[in-house]
Amino acid sequence: MIAAAGLLMILISLGAAATLAVRGINGARTGEVDATRLMQPALILLAAAVAAFFLLELAIVAHDYSIKYVANTTSNATPFIFLLASGWAALEGSIVLWGLLLAVFTWLVVRRVKAGDRMGAGAAGIMGVVAVFWFGLMATFANPFEVCTRAAQVGCASSSWFPFAEALAPLDGRGPNPLLQNHILMAVHPPLLYVGYVGFTVPFAYAMSALWLRQTGSRWLDVTHRWTLISWTFLTTGILLGAWWSYEVLGWGGYWAWDPVENAAFLPWLVATAFIHSAVVQRKRGMLQAWNIVLVISTFALTILGTFLTRSGVIFSVHSFTQSAVGPVLLVFLGLVVVGGFGLFAVRADVVGSAPRLDSLASREGVFLANNLLLTLFAFTVLLGTMLPLLVEGFTGNQVTVGRPFFDKAAIPLSFALLLAMGIGPVTPYRSARGDLMWERLRSGIVAGLAAGVAAIAFDVRSIPVVIVVVLAGFVISTILRHYFMRVAAVNRPGDNWIKSAGRVLAKEPGYWGGQISHLGLALVAVAIATSSALAVRQSVELEVGGSAVVDDYCVTYQGPFSRAEPNRIVEGAEVLLLRSDCATTIRSMEPRVHRYPNSTQAVATPDVRTGLVDDVYLSLSGLTERGTLILEVFVFPLMWVLWFGGLVTAAGGVFALRARRRSSQRADDVVTAA
């Protein structure tokens, strides 16, 4: 019954999405926008999508192995939190969550459409079209409610799309991929990414609607910038937690490997970041209208590309799913988005081609433009490195590899330039900047940055790239802080409380200062990436029981192996004592280990990490020899906590900036109502 009810909800969602698409596009075309007639299918879409997701989770929690998805992604031994996470841990379930989030965003958009709002109606119609694709995909090639018709020893061997087919459920399921039930972040990281991905549908829909209706100006930016910030913030947090998950789970000692699916999340983040900056220029000066349309189309297209890379099986990655029929369908949809979006842009080029010209490159607009070009070049480089192996193999049959050295060589100089722009841009006036004014605003930051570089050298940092990053990050941080305290001093009246004055400055321009908070976070992230990459110590040691080895400023002593059974896995590992380099002062006991899960031959090496203010000590079990010798990988990463803290600060800047966008969105609604 769950299978039949779930498929019915998907079909209802598909019908509601189609109805919304027709009504929205027709209302935008004729100008006869009836908000109630738009809200009806949006509510049905939301209710049916919620019901479909609930039914899938119900089947998972109830261990209903008559449903293929449940039989192949869960087991009797799967802990409850990972049972819930199984609802989006595999192909079909992740698309159900995608559809649910899209239904939520669609409903939120439609409820703001007022009578006579042609742009809003058009956006609702376009979101309906997008929803038709995703729910159509669920109803055909990615049906999460397929019935298991032949059981394997564990899991389902064959299935039927027909919900009333005769079911034959196995006694136990295969269970989740071991990597996807090895850390609690698996339950958090993917949904955050999905919110980021799906949320970019809103600015895309409004941009296409405005372009189609020839509505120039920045109203579509006023309406959607809040959604852009929400999506960017969730995507930022999702990428951060994904890096943390990789660091804590995979055991190779890193957090970013330029994996194709990591890149697939990074690409829309880069382009969306460029869009957020250029949108400021259009809202302030009416410039970069065409460029903003290009960035919005590109961001949405890159979310579809990321989905294709993750779910098509065309790449090998710890993130990707197995080969399926969904890949070609996603590729066709991506083609339609690119051709349709840029085709409409070409047809309506006259609408967005009459924006004001740049007065001077030495202005905030000029710095923002340079920032945009750098971010776009960064995105193009990552896209080229990610897709080139696939394109070469697809057209020639030859296999080529684009590895980390390529990405690092491209990313390092671009990151330097972006850091420089982050320091200069916020304090540069619009229209034109005088040299003496810029020197006054930047000189203290330059001095502070150089002082930070000297301090790094004094602490025996001999890596030139690290010193450059420290100088640039010091410049960015000190310039922003100086600018902030100068603003506070300007509004602080005699007898005022300094803290209240500081709060007033933030409250007056939350959008601007939210951006500066994010810049501070990114400067910290840059320092952490540089130090943890260039200054890390990596050493493999081989120890007998009772043996010790000194690595950097630490000593590791092998105390012996251990093995224990947990409800859902077998844990085998080594007890290792971490001490100071004198091998006499104990810091803590650590347990690098291997997890073995039932119904899976894949063992997961799980590191143990000791985090400190100065550095992290990271122990990964490489192996145990027949004679009982431990082979241990020991890593010492400086300032790792700064990476996680800086990432959270970056995301917090997006959250803070939302305060300003709420007021902007309300003003846009008032304009529509008055019209």
Average pLDDT over residues 642-654: 96
Residue type at position 326: V
Cβ(578)–Cβ(554) below 8 Å: yes
Cβ(312)–Cβ(327) below 8 Å: yes
Length, in residues, of the chain? 675
Split at pLDDT 50, 70, 90, the class of 599 is confident
> 393-445 pLDDT, tens per residue?
778 877 778 888 899 999 999 999 999 999 998 888 888 888 888 898 899 99
Task: Estimate the crossing angle of helix 289-311 against helix 260-285, to 10 degrees.
Answer: 160
pLDDT of residue 95: 94
Residue 112, judged by CB atoms within 10 A of its CB (0-12, 13-18, 19+), counts as middle
Average pLDDT over residues 353-367: 76
Tell me which residue of 171, 177, 23 sits closest to 91, measured CA to CA. 177
Average pLDDT over residues 3-9: 97
Q: Measured between alpha carbons, how far is 446 from 423 in angstroms, rounded to an integer?
A: 10
pTM of the predicted protein model: 0.93
Split at pLDDT 50, 70, 90, the class of 669 is very low
Token pair recorded at residue 146? 């397929």
pLDDT of residue 182: 83
Sign of torsion over alpha carbons 80, 81, 82, 88: positive
Q: Measured between alpha carbons, how far is 232 from 266 in angstroms, rounded to an integer?
A: 11
Cβ(358)–Cβ(287) below 8 Å: yes
Per-residue HEC secondary structure of 210-275 comes to: HHHCCCCCCHHHHHHHHHHHHHHHHHHHHHHHHHHHHHHHCCCCCCCCCCHHHHHHHHHHHHHHHH
Alpha carbon 548 to its chain's center:
41
Half-sphere exposure at residue 584, Cβ-oriented, CA atoms within 13 angstroms? 1
* pLDDT above 80 for 106: yes
pLDDT of residue 48: 98
Element (H, E) at 580: strand 569-580
Cβ(617)–Cβ(609) below 8 Å: yes
Neighbouring residues of 167: CB distance < 8 A, sequence distance ≥ 6: 3, 66, 147, 148, 149
Q: Measured between alpha carbons, how far is 421 from 522 in angstroms, rounded to an integer?
A: 12
Least confident of 34-43, 183-192, 641-650: 183-192
> 137-183 pLDDT, tens per residue?
999 999 999 999 999 988 999 999 999 899 999 999 998 888 888 88
Q: Measured between alpha carbons, how far is 128 from 427 in angstroms, rounded to an integer?
A: 42
Q: Measured between alpha carbons, how far is 578 from 335 in angstroms, rounded to an integer?
A: 54
pLDDT of residue 315: 63
Sign of torsion over alpha carbons 501, 507, 511, 515: positive
What residue has token string 């991905």? 197
Neighbouring residues of 630: CB distance < 8 A, sequence distance ≥ 6: 542, 543, 544, 545, 558, 561, 574, 576, 621, 623, 624
Cβ(617)–Cβ(604) below 8 Å: no
Residue 184 is classified by DSSP as G
> 529-573 pLDDT, tens per residue?
999 999 999 999 999 999 999 999 999 999 999 999 988 899 999
Q: Measured between alpha carbons, how far is 67 from 147 in angstroms, rounded to an integer?
A: 5
Token pair recorded at residue 161? 């799309």
Q: Measured between alpha carbons, how far is 457 from 467 in angstroms, rounded to an integer?
A: 7
